[in-house]
Amino acid sequence: MDRPRIILADDHRVFAEGLQAMLDDEFHVVSIVESGRALLEAVAMFSPELVVMDISMPELNGIECVRRLRESTPELKIVLLTMHDDLGFAIAAIRAGASGYVLKNSGVKDLLFALREALDGGTHISPQIAKEVMLTLATGEETRPQLSQRQVEILRLLADGLSAKQIAARMHISPRTVEFHKYQAMERLGVSTSAELIAYTTKLGSGPM
């Protein structure tokens, strides 16, 4: 019996290669990529049955990749494998069309279960957050990744067109501190470019994050 073809997408190559070794008995890893755009290209080239990807990746984040892949390849099964246990990320991934959301600290058994469940047409979420995610999805309540008040303020100033130096002067902090909070927010929100970060902030308007 042919092993299902799978693509791994993670910007930590050593982790991805270790994952390949663990999955190799049951799945045929046809490609390992390190960015969102490379993933889209690899899917078009190799036509896999499954994709396992992280959320935080260069060029395109995992959730945006899920949205694009669901549009271009609706039959593809996608499982997010990530360290982010924030409900907002998990809910966004499932709503975008992911078949699974697995935490990296869950272990290989949880990932294997998620992959098998995806191939069978099901959805699996790591037990640590499954109850809260399913409850939120059932009630329709919106959950977003939580940012600190300082991060929120910096993002809104960036969306208003201020530079890091101008924000630093206004907030009486150093430009380096502004950049630190900016990149912490990018990691928290699962975005990989300043344009995506500003688009996210603009979409939320003046309401709370």
pLDDT in tens, 140-189: 665 556 678 888 888 888 877 788 899 999 999 998 889 888 888 887 77
Spacing of C-alpha 68 from chain mean position? 13
Q: What is the location of CATH 3.40.50.2300 in the chain?
A: 5-139
Q: Going by CATH, does the domain composed of 149-204 fall within 3.40.50.720? A: no
Contact present, 124 and 113 (Cβ < 8 Å): yes
Report the C-alpha gap between 196 and 20 in whole angstroms: 30
Task: Kindly report the pTM of this predicted structure.
Answer: 0.71
Q: Exposure string (b/e) for 133-169, b if CB count within 10 Å is 16 or more?
A: beebbeeeeebbbebeeebbebbbbbbeebebeebbe
Q: Where in the chain is the domain with CATH 1.10.10.10?
A: 149-204
Query: 5-139 domain in CATH 3.40.50.2300?
Result: yes
State how far the Cα of 144 lies from the Cα of 175, in Å rounded to an integer.
27
pLDDT digits (tens, 9 = 90+) for 112-143: 999 999 999 999 999 999 988 888 777 766 55
Q: What is the DSSP letter of 142?
A: -
